[in-house]
Structure 1
Amino acid sequence: MHRHRDLCERAVDPLEIAAGLEAHGVTDRTAARFRHRDVFSLAEEMYARVPRDGDPPPRPTDPPAPRVRIVWIVLALLPGALCAATVAGLRLTDGRPRLIAVVVGALVVTLALRAALRRGPLRAATRTTGTWTCWLVGYALLGDGLLRAALTGGPDGLPDGTAEGPWPVTVAPVLALALACAPAAGSAHLFAVGARRKLSASRGLADFSASVRPLLLGTVALFMCALTVLVALTGAVLAEPAAHPQALTLGALLLLARLLAVHGHTHAPTLVLTAAATVEAAALATLFAGRLPGCGFLAVPVEALVAACGPAVVPTTACGIGALILLVHATRRLTRASAHASMGQPR
């Protein structure tokens, strides 16, 4: 009680104390030393023993007003809608108007995505860098075309926004990822609400972890199903290859990174996103460096890999391994009570 008095006085219910004790390394075995069956039972006694002048204010568990909920739904849909409008402008214009449409479209989509990440279920308490995320999305748009052109001695010009130009552009996976902001927000909301309910119903840390782990895997699977459908639809509408491996691995990587950031874990996502972007950049750099006199050996590994599996192998491998690492990390971090005790309803 003396060691954790500040925690007990700030808590508005025993769940916050249980999560705080877990974060400080208190386990069910530790609770047994104090004649309690688990940390939740110990937290209830600690909460009851703290003197208070009056009844504590109730935790704000009421659902948000419909107007607020509509706001974050609209914000989640906005990046996909604006990206679709940008793609339409890209396909319907030529020359300078096309360049203006691309620049303006990229700007408004970026601003819309930033707004979506600041409100609702995808809102993180701490700021996270988006530099590497922008690189990964940019590679999904331009990287495979540049890699293919570099292998044939190009590129001979800048990208012109078409799949047949000197620097082919793949629009379908990027449009699918923009449209997937809405399923990502919905999946994050369902996970937060479900985890909070299981936290209230659990009677032990092991019980809570065991019940949240399937919820986390189901959340990721639900998003991946939605993204698979969106990738297929955008590929069919735009008459482009669907690029399922690249889009699905990148989508999984971005979703898991955001889920961890939302629940207060930003270090691992930053490292993994940085590593994935670095691998993609290194693959391109080695191809161009191999053109220097005496440096041809630098391009041999990438050339052999692409010859065996195609250009998609670079982003698929980089993002796929990163997503797998974050999934394992999330099953450890997001199944702890301390990751959900302070999570309320999305704004």
Structure 2
Amino acid sequence: MSGGDPVKALMARHRELCERAVDPLEIAAGLEAHGVTDRTAARFRHRDVFSLAEEMYARAARTDEEDPAAGPAAAQGPAPARWALRALLPGALCVAVVAALRWTGGELRLVVGALGMAAVAAGVRLALGRGPLSSEGRSVPGPHDWRTPPGARAWAYLLVGYALLGDGLLHAGLMGGPDDLPDGAPYGDWPITLAPLLALTLSCVPAALSARLFRSGVGRKLTGSRGLEEFAATARPLLLGVVAVHLAAVSGLSVLCAVVLDEHSTPAATAALGALLLIARLLTVHGFTHAPAVVLRAVGWVEIASVCLVFAGRLPGCDLLAEPVETVVSVWGEHAVPLIACGAGALVLLVHACRRLALASAHAPAGPRPPSDR
């Protein structure tokens, strides 16, 4: 690196990154994604990657010189009012569905419930399509690199479905039932618990606000940081704070919904599921899709296996299969199964997010894909 112009040689290797960058921070994030560290920057006569990126940006012949505002404008996304309305939609739809279920009965209730759940799922998809919980404004090599894998989406819906039906089925199984399909009645043979579902859909608003807070906070810290390690040290507490705020919001909504609907519900289990879904979404919209898919699938299988073991224990000579679940439930109740499973999954993803989302390259509005999260 001693001869010639080392920075010019580096710019030649990353010509496309330098030409399309809208600010030095984007170049710094791209360099980090390619393995350039603050120690590496010293070989190019700079104290850190940010300083190196500033020189590269100043010397680059960018392709956006004719319209320098085009890049930042494209990354701003829709107005806050628009994504706020989208975030309100799932909760509003769920409130309407819950009210309709309370006013109907018999077979009509099953039809209303099925159509209502489809409408709520569509509302959630719409809420995640734009705003802070979406990957809008990011430019990546492949068309599907940053999208939620279909399998992860299915497992997320299954976890929400367990919050709606799972505890009731587990309780009925331990009591020797159920003798019939769920009818939506809170005290039936197989009761449906609506409070967690209502709390989770209403929490789309605090989730979107938390994601927006994290994105804007990271942007400010990225601007003020003078090194990759300094940025990582300030980004992690922000992530932990955002998750804590969301946990408090979901817990409060869970208590409120349980009181309004007159249902027995454990806020801790709902909050654990809400935290799991939020952290998985934050990782996904920043390009780290593998770990959320794996953890959501693992948590889903734990919940499915818990119910299956209870029913398998009814087979002759298979009593031992149900004993672990029966022991957990007898000590802590049916809600302990989703609480333990979702809580452990959320903790694993949080540790992973503290590593991955502390990378400057994870927050670049455009440019190369961050390192794989495998």
The alignment's TM-score, normalised by the length of structure 1, stands at: 0.94
Instruction: Indicate the residue corresponding to 2:149 in structure 1.
Output: 128
Instruction: Indicate the residue corresponding to 2:116 in structure 1.
Output: 105
Instruction: Indicate the residue corresponding to 1:24 in structure 2.
Output: 34
Q: For the aligned residues, what is the CA RMSD?
A: 1.9
3-state secondary structure, aligned to 1:264: coil
Deviation at 1:103, TM superposition (A): 1.4
Say whether residues 1:248 and 2:288 are aligned partners: no
Which of residues 165, 169, 172 is equivalent to 1:149? 172
Contact 1:72/1:120, CA 8 A, preserved across alignment: yes
Give identity over the alignment, percent.
58
Say whether residues 1:167 and 2:221 are aligned partners: no
Instruction: Indicate the residue corresponding to 2:322 in structure 1.
Output: 299
The residue identity in structure 2 corresponding to 1:153 is: G
Structure 1 residue ranges without an equivalent (≥5): none
Which of residues 201, 204, 207 is equivalent to 1:181? 204
Contact 1:236/1:242, CA 8 A, preserved across alignment: no
Contact 2:18/2:62, CA 8 A, preserved across alignment: no
Q: How does 1:161-310 map onto structure 2 within 5 Å?
A: 161-310=184-333
Deviation at 1:136, TM superposition (A): 0.3
Deviation at 1:47, TM superposition (A): 2.1
Deviation at 1:61, TM superposition (A): 5.1
Instruction: Indicate the residue corresponding to 1:74 in structure 2.
Output: 85
Deviation at 1:144, TM superposition (A): 0.6
Whole-Å separation in 2 of the counterparts to 1:23 and 1:60: 21
Whole-Å separation in 1 of the counterparts to 2:169 and 2:261: 20
Whole-Å separation in 1 of the counterparts to 2:248 and 2:43: 46
Contact 1:196/1:341, CA 8 A, preserved across alignment: no
Whole-Å separation in 2 of the counterparts to 1:136 and 1:293: 30
Deviation at 1:52, TM superposition (A): 5.1
Say whether residues 1:33 and 2:43 are aligned partners: yes
Contact 2:185/2:192, CA 8 A, preserved across alignment: yes
Whole-Å separation in 1 of the counterparts to 2:201 and 2:317: 43
Instruction: Indicate the residue corresponding to 1:318 in structure 2.
Output: 341
Distance 1:101 1:235, change over 3 A: same
Which of residues 63, 67, 72 is equivalent to 1:60? 72
Contact 2:19/2:63, CA 8 A, preserved across alignment: no
Whole-Å separation in 2 of the counterparts to 1:246 and 1:36: 49
Instruction: Output one character per residue of 1:256-306: Cα deviation in whole Å (capped at 9) or x when no partner.
Output: 000111111111000000000000001111111122222222112111221
Comparing 289-298 and 154-163, the one that deviates more: 289-298
The residue identity in structure 2 corresponding to 1:115 is: L
Distance 1:286 1:53, change over 3 A: closer
Deviation at 1:6, TM superposition (A): 2.5
Whole-Å separation in 2 of the counterparts to 1:232 and 1:210: 34
Deviation at 1:312, TM superposition (A): 1.1
Instruction: Output one character per residue of 1:128-182: Cα deviation in whole Å (capped at 9) or x when no partner.
Output: 3311011100100110110011011111111111221010111111100010011
Instruction: Indicate the residue corresponding to 1:9 in structure 2.
Output: 19
Deviation at 1:54, TM superposition (A): 8.3
The residue identity in structure 2 corresponding to 1:85 is: A
Comparing 39-48 and 251-260, the one that deviates more: 39-48
Whole-Å separation in 1 of the counterparts to 2:306 and 2:165: 14
Distance 1:251 1:53, change over 3 A: closer
The alignment's TM-score, normalised by the length of structure 2, stands at: 0.87
